[in-house]
Amino acid sequence: MGTGAAIAIRKGNQDLQQKLDKGLKSMSDDGTLAELSKKWFGMVITPKL
């Protein structure tokens, strides 16, 4: 699967970056990312944030 992943956002868009970081952290904390990973990839491929 590789060593990383990325989401492209416009350089300098701190507001969007903070919102994405907060949302991904929340999904990681409550298990949503792991559930989606299992559903679509058959295994958990998401790192713990």
| pTM exceeding 0.85 | no
Concatenating the DSSP letter of every residue in 7-49 gives ----TT-HHHHHHHHHHHHHHHHHTHHHHHHHHHHSS--PPP-
- Please give the pLDDT value at position 10: 93
pLDDT digits (tens, 9 = 90+) for 12-40: 999 999 999 999 899 999 999 999 999 99
What is residue 4's DSSP assignment?
-
- Please give the pLDDT value at position 7: 81
